[in-house]
Amino acid sequence: METAEIETRVEEMARKARHASLALATVPRKDKDRMLKALADLLESSASTLMEENRKDLEAGKAAGLSNALLDRLSLSQDRLSGMAGGVREVAGLDDPVGEVLETTERPNGLVIRKIRVPIGVVGIIFESRPNVTVDCAALCLKSGNACILRGGKEAFHTNTALAALIARALRESSLPGDSVQLVPTTDRYALHCLLKMDAYIQCIIPRGGESLIRFVAENSLIPVIKHYKGVCTLYIDKAANLEMAKKLVVNAKCQRPGVCNAIENLLLHRETAGKFLPEIARALAAEGVELRLDASAAAIIKQAGDIPFEAATDKDWTEEYLAPILAIKTVPSTEAAIEAINTFGSGHSDGIVTADESTAQTFLTGVDSATVYWNASTRFTDGFEFGMGAEIGISTDKLHARGPMGLKELCTYKYTITGQGTVKR
Amino acid sequence: METAEIETRVEEMARKARHASLALATVPRKDKDRMLKALADLLESSASTLMEENRKDLEAGKAAGLSNALLDRLSLSQDRLSGMAGGVREVAGLDDPVGEVLETTERPNGLVIRKIRVPIGVVGIIFESRPNVTVDCAALCLKSGNACILRGGKEAFHTNTALAALIARALRESSLPGDSVQLVPTTDRYALHCLLKMDAYIQCIIPRGGESLIRFVAENSLIPVIKHYKGVCTLYIDKAANLEMAKKLVVNAKCQRPGVCNAIENLLLHRETAGKFLPEIARALAAEGVELRLDASAAAIIKQAGDIPFEAATDKDWTEEYLAPILAIKTVPSTEAAIEAINTFGSGHSDGIVTADESTAQTFLTGVDSATVYWNASTRFTDGFEFGMGAEIGISTDKLHARGPMGLKELCTYKYTITGQGTVKR
C-alpha cells in the first residue's frame, strides 16, 4: 500500500472503531457472552482452515530462518485451538465489569454523584508473533465493552487474518457491531505509526512484545500507552530468614519457568548471614543448572565453599532480564540497602523478601517501589490468574491507570453521573 | 543556559526528585501537615517580599504588553496570599490518601494479596501564568506523598522563584526532603522538552494551561500525561423537560461564570418542543447579554418569535470553547441524536440533560461518553470542591487513570503486597 492509502485506511478503521465502541459500551452481558461462545465454537469447528493458513506463516518463517522457538510459538495445533477456545469460554464466564457503581455521594446541595465503571472505548493492541494473543485480547476487550484494533506481527499475518475473519463472523452472527474488533490489514510499520496518532478515536494502547517494540510505541504514540518494558525481579534474603524456606523460594522463583517476566534475575543476601546461606543456595541452584554471576563479596564466600562454579558479575548484570537460567547475586549490609538496590536497578515488576521478622518485612513491603512486593513467597505469582482476575491482558509496570496484572476491570475507566432537581450553582 | 547545561540540570533535578519521592512515600501524615502549616504561615509573613518579586513580573508584563486580564491573574495581593495560605491549610486538613488498603484477597494457596494506595512518585506540573498554581500543586503533591517538579510560565518567573524559595524553607524547617518540590530554574522551552524525556525518573505529567501548551506536552512527552484540552459542554433539553427548570439550568450553566471550562458552549433542544421552549430560553439568555449562534432550524423558530437578535452558526461553532457569553444552539430529532452530537462534537468534559422522563435520562447518562454527565442539574458542578474532594489538581478528559476532577486520591497509584508462608508456584 502507498503511504497515503495507509493513512486513509488506518483513520477509517479508527473512526469505525470509535463508532462501534459507543454502541458496544451499552451492550448487555448476555449478548457479549453469546458472541464469545460463538467464537469459541468457531475456533474448534474451523481448525483445519486455521491450520492451513497457519502453515503459510510457518513455511514463510522457515524460509526466513526463524528460530525453532519462534516457529513453535507461532504454530497452531488442534490442541492449541482447543486451548484458545477454552480461554474464550472462560472469559465469557467472568463477571461483566461494566456498570458497577463504585461510589455514591450525596452532596449537601442534594446532588447525587455516582462513580460508575465503564469501558475505556477503543483499545489498540500491538503485539508480535503469538497468534493466541489475537483471540485472547479480542475476547477480553469485547467482554469489557471495548472496541479494539489489533496490530500483529508479520510472522503471523496469515494466521491473524484468518482468526480476525472468524471473530468478524462471530460478531455478525451475534448482531454485535462488526467493527468492534479490527485487524490492521498490513504489518507495514508506517501503519503502526499512523495508528499511534489517532488520539481522536483511540483512547489506550497496550503493546505486548519485546522492549524495542514497546519503546517504538512509547516514543511515537499520542495515545496513552500502558506498558511493561521488562521484568528484572529480585529476591532479598534477610538475616532473619529461615534458610530452608529461602532456598525453596529462590529455586522456585528462578527455576520453575526461567523464561517469564516474573522469574527472578537478581538475588540479594544480607551480609551477616550470606556466609551461611549463600553456599547452600548456590549449590541448590547449581544442581538445577543455573549459572551464577557473583559480585566480589559473594564470590569470596563461594570460593571459600569450594567447588561451586560461577562467573564474576559486571555492572550490566544488575539490570539485565536474562529470561534464562542465570542469576546475579550480591550481598548487602542491610534491608535499607536491599530496598535501595531494588529501587535503583529493578524494573518495578515483582520483588520479594524472605524473613521471619515482621517489622523488617513491613519496611521492605512499604519501601520497595514495585507493582507487586512479596513476603515469604515466590515472585512467580504475578499474573492475572493467580490474582483471581480470571485472565489478563498484560502486566503494567507503569504507575498510571493500572499497575501489575491487568484484567477486565483494568480495561475499564469510570464516569460520573450526577442527578439533581434543577440544581444550579450559586 | 547552554543546551548541554540545561540537559544536565534537568536530569539532575529529575534524579533528585525520584530520590526524594522514595523517602516522601513513607513520611507520616503529621510531618506532611506540619510542613503545609509552616508554608501557610510563611506565605502570610513573607507577603512584602513576595509582592516585591511579583512587581518585577508585573512591570515586565506591562512592558511586554500583556492584557489587563492576564496582569490581573498574575498579580499578588495581601488578600490573594491569605487565600493561598488558607488553601494550603485546607489541604493539610484533608485525609491522607496514602496507605489505605483498597482490597484484600485471600487465595486458595494461602497467599494474602493486599491492594494498597501509594503515591505515584514524581509528578511534573507544567503551567502558565497564575502563581497560585505553584503553591496549590506543591501542597497537593506533598500531601499525597509525591515529589513534584514545577515548570511555570515566564510571565510569573520572579514570583514563582520566590514562592519556590518559601516552599524550600518550609521543607527544610519540617525536615522533609529538600528536593520534594523543585522549580525548573529557566522557562526556556528546551528545558521543558528535556523534562518530558525523563521517563526514568518522572512518572506523570499534568499540564495546566491553554490548548497549544497541552498539545506541545502531549506530543513531546515520553512520560504519561493526564490532560484536558478544553471544555466544550452541552445541555440537552428533552421534549419531557420542565420549561422553568430548563430555563434556569441553561442560564446558570452558561452565565454563572462563562469563562470556565464547565460552562456550556452548546445547547440542543428536542425538535418537538423547541417551538415552545426556544423563544423563552433565548429571551432569558439575551437578557443576560448572551450572543446566540443558531443553526437553520433554531433560527427559523427565533425569526418567528420576533425581536431576539442572533447570528447564524457555522460548523466551527459546535466544537469551539468560547469561554465567553456566546452560545451555539440547534434542534435535534431525538435523544439519540443529542447523544450522537455530543459524542461527536463535545470534548468529553461535562454534559447534561433536562427531562422529567427517567428512562430518557438513563439512556442519556449511559450513552454520553463524557467524564461527568448531568440530569436536571447545571454542568457548573464539575470541580473537586463540588465533588467533595476538598481540592483539585485539575480535571481530566482523558480516560486512563483519572477522569473528571482529580483530587488527592487521583494523585495516587496502588501497589500489591503479597504475603505467603514460603509459598511456591507449582
Chain B residues inside the 8 Å CB shell of A423: 376-378, 381
Q: Chain B: nearest CA to A279, how far in angstroms?
A: 20
Task: Verify that A186 and A294 share a domain, yes or no.
Answer: no
Distance of CA B170 to the CA centre of its chain: 26
Question: Is A243 at the interface with chain B, CB within 8 A?
Answer: no
**CA-to-CA separations, B53 to B43, B60, B74, B128, B159, in angstroms, rounded:** 13, 11, 12, 17, 5
Q: Which three cell numbers stand for residue B74?
A: 498574575
Task: Verify that B87 and B192 share a domain, yes or no.
Answer: yes
Task: Verify that B118 and B263 share a domain, yes or no.
Answer: no
CATH of the domain at A133: 3.40.605.10
Task: Verify that B295 and B173 share a domain, yes or no.
Answer: no
Task: Verify that A89 and A178 share a domain, yes or no.
Answer: yes
Per-residue pLDDT tens over the stretch B240-264? 999 999 999 999 999 999 999 999 9
Task: Verify that B14 and B134 share a domain, yes or no.
Answer: yes
Say what percent of chain A tops pLDDT 90: 95
Per-residue pLDDT tens over the stretch B264-289? 999 999 999 999 999 999 999 999 99
Task: Verify that A60 and A181 share a domain, yes or no.
Answer: yes
Q: Chain A: nearest CA to B28, how far in angstroms?
A: 12
Task: Verify that A117 and A260 share a domain, yes or no.
Answer: no
> Look-up: residue for cell 512518572?
B203
- Which residue among A381, A401, A419 places its CB closest to the CB of B376? A419
- In this predicted structure, the answer to whether residue B139 has a pLDDT above a threshold of 90 is yes
Per-residue pLDDT tens over the stretch A69-85? 889 989 999 999 999 99
Per-residue pLDDT tens over the stretch A210-251? 889 999 999 999 999 999 889 999 999 999 999 999 999 999
Range of the domain at B134: 3-227+404-419
Instruction: Answer whether residue B54 is part of any domain.
Output: yes
- In this predicted structure, the answer to whether residue A353 has a pLDDT above a threshold of 80 is yes
What was the pLDDT predicted at B210? 86
Q: Do B399 and A204 touch (CB under 8 A)?
A: yes
Per-residue pLDDT tens over the stretch A373-404? 999 999 999 999 999 998 899 999 999 999 99
Evaluated on CA atoms B17, B20, B22, B26, the torsion sign reads: negative
Number of structural domains in chain A: 2
Kindly provide the ipTM of the predicted complex, given to two decimals. 0.96
Average pLDDT over residues A276-301: 96
What was the pLDDT predicted at A129? 73
- Which residue among B107, B219, B401 places its CB closest to the CB of A388? B107
Task: Verify that A214 and A309 share a domain, yes or no.
Answer: no
- Closest residue of A to B122, CA-based? A399
What was the pLDDT predicted at A281? 96
- In this predicted structure, the answer to whether residue B391 has a pLDDT above a threshold of 90 is no
- In this predicted structure, the answer to whether residue B334 has a pLDDT above a threshold of 80 is yes
Instruction: Answer whether residue B392 is part of any domain.
Output: no
Question: Is B88 at the interface with chain A, CB within 8 A?
Answer: no
Residue window 290-309, chain A: list those with CB within 8 Å of chain B: none
| Mean pLDDT taken over chain A | 96
Instruction: Answer whether residue B140 is part of any domain.
Output: yes
Cβ neighbours for B344, distance < 8 A, ≥ 6 positions apart: none
Instruction: Answer whether residue B158 is part of any domain.
Output: yes
Question: Is B344 at the interface with chain A, CB within 8 A?
Answer: no
Contact B279, B308 (CB under 8 A): yes
Task: Verify that B197 and B266 share a domain, yes or no.
Answer: no
Q: Strand A112-119 relative to strand A101-106: parallel, antiparallel, unpaired?
A: antiparallel
- In this predicted structure, the answer to whether residue A130 has a pLDDT above a threshold of 90 is no
Evaluated on CA atoms B321, B323, B326, B331, the torsion sign reads: positive
CATH of the domain at A247: 3.40.309.10
- In this predicted structure, the answer to whether residue A2 has a pLDDT above a threshold of 90 is no
What was the pLDDT predicted at B390? 85
Task: Verify that B173 and B246 share a domain, yes or no.
Answer: no
- pLDDT class for B41, splitting at 50, 70, 90? very high
Determine the Cα–Cα distance for residues A181 and B93; give it in Å rounded to an integer.
48
Task: Verify that A130 and A275 share a domain, yes or no.
Answer: no
Instruction: Answer whether residue A392 is part of any domain.
Output: no
Instruction: Answer whether residue B148 is part of any domain.
Output: yes
Helix (H) or strand (E) holding B305: helix B296-305
Cβ neighbours for A414, distance < 8 A, ≥ 6 positions apart: A102, A115, A116, A117, A118, B403
Contact A100, A400 (CB under 8 A): no
pTM attached to this predicted model: 0.95
Average pLDDT over residues A324-330: 97
More confident residue, A173 or B306: A173
Distance of CA B182 to the CA centre of its chain: 21
Instruction: Answer whether residue A275 is part of any domain.
Output: yes
Average pLDDT over residues B183-199: 95
Instruction: Answer whether residue B397 is part of any domain.
Output: no
What was the pLDDT predicted at A229? 87
